[in-house]
Amino acid sequence: MNPHLTAAITLATIPVLITLGYAGLCWVKPVKPCQRCAGTGRITTRVLRRPRACRRCDRGHRLRTGRRVYNHFHRLRAEANR
């Protein structure tokens, strides 16, 4: 086999495997811990103030970007088939 063809196939396969791995992760674990509140759902802004609810997340979890994209296209397809 041609070594250039083998290198090209290898370089084309790596991004596909990474994308499929992320899609699988979004399918199995669609939420991730919020980075702002570290998954607690509460934020303290100053030392003496009491904690307040995190505005970015709901109970410490946020949807992954890939899952948001999947949900968007799923809704578009469902609305088109009504």
* Mean pLDDT, 10 residues at a time, the chain of 82 residues: 89 95 94 86 77 82 92 95 88
The Cα-based distances of 58 to 31, 54, 70 in angstroms read: 11, 7, 20
42 and 54 in contact (C-beta within 8 Å)? Answer: yes
Identity of the residue numbered 11? L
Residue 45 is predicted with a pLDDT of 74
Residue 41 is predicted with a pLDDT of 84
Residue 35 is predicted with a pLDDT of 85
DSSP letters spanning 46-78: SSSSPPEE-SS-BTTEEE-HHHHHHHHHHHHHH
Among candidates 41, 32, 18, which has minimal Cα distance to 67?
Answer: 32
Residue 22 is predicted with a pLDDT of 95
